[in-house]
Amino acid sequence: MKTNKGIVFFVGAGPGDPDLITVKGLKCIQVADVIVYDRLANPELLNAARKDAEFIYCGKQPNHHSIQQEQINEIIVSKALEGKTVTRLKGGDPCVFGRVGEEAEKLDQQGICFEIVPGITAGIAAPAYAGIPVTHRNVASTFAMVTGHLCNDNTISPDKWKALATGIDTVAFYMGMGNISNICNQLIHYGRNPDTPVAIVSWGTTEDQRTIISSLNTIEKTLQEQHISSPAIILVGEVVHLRERLSWFAENS
């Protein structure tokens, strides 16, 4: 049945470097009537949009309040119901801690068509730009992506901590900077070697990228000496040592 409803493209903008968006993602920006974008989607990408495209920013506002998720859902739904082509641009990959599930479900309820265009996620890209492949044939054969947000209030069960500490070679924590001591202590508590190296990569793949190397038991001291800001990936595992040989991207400081 033909409808006059629009369509929504959920597009991964990639981790920061605007060249890291996919060809398909870029096409979705070029055709959009409306682009709804997040704080971590590089705004340079908007230069590829049509001159008459409408831009709606959904990140933190000047008063530090973010637009509520409900409001974002409403905006996307109402623009699509007007028959518009909407590109919902999200940092990294839309399916990795990107709430694409919640937003797409609303569209489904309204019978609005959507597509998901994957992007390069920060947990792989930021380490790659720091010279750290997240897997390596001789060093790491398992890799997990974990939200550091939940680590604070024991929402990660002991079983999961144990699995992360002893069963996974490389672990990337997203949104973990406010919780980093707890994360490292939990991993040690559940059986990870305290000397396991840790890399913190902030603003990965951008000109502001900064990498700090430490270990699970020295991270607190390291952070007292060196300041590093969000957004950052905390990468735990022996692969971090590969940076000593594979660092290739010039960082400013």
Catalytic residue positions? 38, 60, 175
Secondary structure class of 12 (helix, strand, coil): strand
Q: How many residues bind ligand SAH (CB under 6 A)?
A: 25
Nearest residue to ligand SAH, using CB? Answer: 92
Task: Between 18 and 197, name the residue whose CB sits nearer to ligand SAH.
Answer: 18
**228, β-bridge pairs:** none
Is residue 199 a contact point for ligand SAH (CB under 6 A)?
A: no
Site for ligand SAH contains 179 (CB under 6 A): no
Of the ranges 55-63, 68-76, 157-165, 230-238, which one interacts with ligand SAH (CB under 6 A)? 230-238
Considering the rule CB under 6 A, would residue 16 count as an interface residue with ligand SAH? yes
Q: How far apart are CA 131 and CA 154, in angstroms?
A: 32
According to the binding rule CB under 6 A, does residue 231 interact with ligand SAH? yes
Minimum distance from CB of 139 to ligand SAH (Å)?
22
Quick one: which of 210, 200, 199 has its CA closest to 240? 199
Start-to-end CA distance of the chain, whole Å, equals 58
Choose one: 18-26, 109-117, 131-139, 231-239; the region binding ligand SAH (CB under 6 A): 231-239
Q: Are 119 and 28 within 8 A, CB to CB?
A: no
Asked if residue 210 lies in contact with residue 251, where contact means CB atoms within 8 angstroms, the answer is yes
Pick the closer one to ligand SAH by CB: 40 or 165. Answer: 40
Indicate whether 127 belongs to the interface with ligand SAH (CB under 6 A): no
Which own/partner pairs from 243-251 qualify as long-range (CB within 8 Å, at least 24 positions apart)?
243/130, 243/131, 243/132, 243/199, 243/211, 243/213, 245/131, 246/131, 246/132, 246/133, 247/130, 247/131, 248/131, 249/129, 249/130, 249/131, 249/209, 251/209, 251/210, 251/211
Look up tokens 């996974």; give the residue: 168
- 203 belongs to the binding site for ligand SAH (CB under 6 A): yes
Q: Nearest distance from residue 61's CB to ligand SAH, in Å?
A: 17
Task: Find the shortest distance in angstroms from Cβ 150 to ligand SAH.
Answer: 12
Residue 177 CB, nearest approach to ligand SAH (Å): 7
Cβ distance 103 to 132 under 8 Å? no
3-state secondary structure of 75: helix
Please pick, from the candidates 18, 174, 187, 198, the single residue that binds ligand SAH as defined by CB under 6 A: 174
Among 6, 18, 25, 91, binds ligand SAH (CB under 6 A): 91
Distance CA(133)–CA(33), nearest Å, equals 38
Pick between residue 18 and residue 92 the one whose CB is nearest to ligand SAH. Answer: 92
Binding site for ligand SAH (CB under 6 A): 15-16, 40, 90-93, 96-98, 121-122, 126, 174-175, 201-206, 230-233
